[in-house]
Amino acid sequence: MAKPLILVTNDDGITAPGLRSLVRFMSELGDVVVVAPDSPQSGMGHAITLDNTLYSTRMTSLGEDGAKEEYSCSGTPADCVKLGLQELLERKPDICVSGINHGSNSSINVIYSGTMSAAIEAGIEGIPAIGFSLCDYTWRADFEASKSFVQKIASEALLNGIPKGVVLNVNIPKLDKDNLKGIKVCRQARANWKEKFDKRTNPMGKDYYWLTGEFELLDKGEDTDEWALANGYISVVPTQFDLTAHHSIQQINTWNLNE
């Protein structure tokens, strides 16, 4: 029986420790092909390259992690998935996994996430897809603690499939293996960023800005990803890419739009 074909991508770049860990984890489950950005693409959301050329390079020096093939791409995470599916892979993958991201993509962060946008792009193409993130922004974070959980979630997705139109947003708290309590399937917490711009002036007298801010949790529910993470659980949020607010259609239809 043929092994599952697993497409691995990310937004932190092809050399990121989180991706190298994910490649090793997935290599124990199937044949891995990596298509990932050649440089960091965090916060790119679902951007795609329309007004520039895309380049891809087959990598030969990264295979020690167990991948069958690896390609770097000059574009965004969504570009990587598009290029992989249309040009680089010999057949449709059985699953696409993105990450492991350096930092949280829980709650409102999913909107900006290149990690999740890569997974969503695969989901749009009908491929079961999961975005994995570890709530640790350091480059040398401990990804090994989450290995069995990451493999379990991916294995179950391969076995059972993921509902059509849905991708999984998985976030892992910054804890050692003994303190990870398990996995909770939950909803996305309501939250926002209170943003500020740190205005500075360069030596030439030109103003520039650094975006800063504070995360503001607006949700006290105990069924959310933020609650799960704060209480030692890995959160799994089924995320849909149909952005229609179906519950609002009836209300908007009461407007006098055709008079």
Q: Is the dihedral of CA 195, 115, 120, 236 positive or negative?
A: negative
Instruction: Assess contact for 101 and 134: CB atoms under 8 A.
Output: yes
Q: Which residues have CB under 8 Å from 192's CB, separation 6+?
A: 108, 216, 218
231 is in an annotated binding site: no
27 is in an annotated binding site: no
For residues 226 and 218, give the distance between their C-alpha atoms in angstroms, rounded to a whole number: 10
For residues 132 and 123, give the distance between their C-alpha atoms in angstroms, rounded to a whole number: 15
* Count of residues in the chain: 259
Instruction: Assess contact for 210 and 197: CB atoms under 8 A.
Output: yes
Q: How many CB atoms lie within 10 A of CB 168?
A: 24
192 is in an annotated binding site: no
242 is in an annotated binding site: no
- At 223, list the tokens: 């069924």
Question: Mapping DSSP to helix (H, G, I), strand (E, B) and coil, where does residue 138 land?
Answer: coil
Q: Annotated binding site: which residue ranges?
A: 11-12, 42, 101
Q: Annotated binding site for a divalent metal cation: which residue ranges?
A: 11-12, 42, 101
